[in-house]
Amino acid sequence: MTVVRAMLAYIFWHRPYPDTERQRYEQAIVHFQNNLAGSKPPGFIGATSFQIEAVPWLSDLPGYEDWYLLDGTWAMDPLNAFAISGHVQAPHDGVAAMMEQGHGGLYAHAGGDCVPAPRSTMHWLSRPRGIQWQPAIEAVRGSCPQAQAWRRQMVLGPAAEFAVETPAEAEIDVPDGWQRRRVTRMRLPHALL
């Protein structure tokens, strides 16, 4: 599915308690996302989740990265309300009870087709202050035509300002002076997006 409209992604990074069985946790994530999609919150496009390598914002431990695609910021309130009510509440509470740590961020789509690969690399980029970001991100995307880019909104979230996804382990050219953290990720089976 290729989505070409302007959109936002609410990204939620989390990890379970150490004694939580991984398969049970992953099944709970997918169960919650399936129930959420079935309730059709206004402005909700879809959701998927990835198992990720260790990142600083999860205490340098591996965890999960959930993506909730939305038509705009106005869709945040319905998403939040639908996630913790009705038939979605029990699946939400089930996965939340197994979670030790979590952080969220809001990112605007900044280019590329929104088709998450089953296995991908996320390049978290930080730019030097005082430069225009649009030409630099276009150049980054030009170095890998399958790349899609996202830009953090209003410094909401612990990750870097830009997220550039590439399929598998494809590389990108990072502009001089920019910082990058490469994070490999694997989409959970039966994830919807």
| Nearest-angstrom CA–CA distance, 63 and 128 | 28
Domains and CATH numbers, the chain: 8-187 (3.30.70.100)
**Cβ distance 41 to 82 under 8 Å?**
yes
The 10s digit of each residue's pLDDT in 22-48 is 999 999 999 999 999 999 999 999 999
Is residue 141 scored above 50 in pLDDT?
A: yes
Displacement of CA 183 from its chain's centroid (Å):
12
Task: State the chain's mean pLDDT as an integer.
Answer: 93
Give the pLDDT confidence score for residue 118 in this predicted structure.
Answer: 86
Is residue 128 scored above 80 in pLDDT?
A: yes
Q: What is the mean pLDDT of residues 96-118?
A: 91
Give the pLDDT confidence score for residue 6 in this predicted structure.
Answer: 62
Of residues 179 and 5, more confidently modeled: 179
**Cβ distance 107 to 11 under 8 Å?**
yes
Q: Which of 172, 67, 178, 55 minimizes the C-alpha distance to 115? A: 67
pTM, two decimals, is 0.92
Give the pLDDT confidence score for residue 169 in this predicted structure.
Answer: 85
